[in-house]
Copies of this chain bind each other. A is one copy, B any other.
Amino acid sequence: MKQLFHPEIEDVLPADVFAALGDPIRLGILVSLADCDEVDKARCGAFTELASPSLLSYHFAKLREAGITRSRAEGTVRFLSIRREEFERRFPGLLDSVIETARRDPSVPRIKLDV
C-alpha cells in the first residue's frame, strides 16, 4: 500500500494552511469532517456529493499536505480525519474558529456523514 505524505506539524506554515482553506470544496470537506459524529470514521468515498472522485482526491491531498487532515488506509477504503491535537498544539485556537466560521456560512457546502 502506497503511503501518502503527511508533513511534520512543525513544518506547516500559516500561509500554506490558509491557502489550503481558500477553497469552498475544501472548507466543505473540513466542516463535514468536523460535524461527523464518530471521529476517524469518515470514508473518502462518502464525499462524492461535493465533487468527482478524482477532484476529491486532489482536494484531500491539499488538505493533507497543509497538515490539516490525515488519511488512513484500511483495506481498499481510506478514512479521513482532522489532525486535531497536533494542529491545536501548532496553531492554538485556529482550527476551532476556522471551522466555526465555515460552519456558520451557507456558501460552504456540506454533507451528512453517516458512520
Contacts and interface: CB of A to CB of B under 8 A. Distances in A.
A93 B97 contact: yes
Copies in the complex: 2
Contacts of A58: none
A8 interface: no
Contact of A21 (B22, B102, B107, B108): B22
A5 interface: no
The residue in A15, A94, A105 that gathers the most chain B C-beta atoms within 10 A of its C-beta is: A15
Contacts of A92: 100
Interface of A: 13-16, 18-24, 27, 91-94, 96-98, 100-102, 105, 107-108
30 contacts: A13-B24, A13-B105, A13-B107, A14-B101, A14-B102, A14-B105, A14-B108, A15-B21, A15-B22, A15-B24, A15-B27, A15-B108, A16-B22, A18-B18, A18-B19, A18-B21, A18-B27, A19-B22, A19-B23, A20-B22, A21-B21, A91-B97, A93-B97, A93-B100, A94-B97, A94-B100, A94-B101, A96-B97, A97-B97, A97-B98
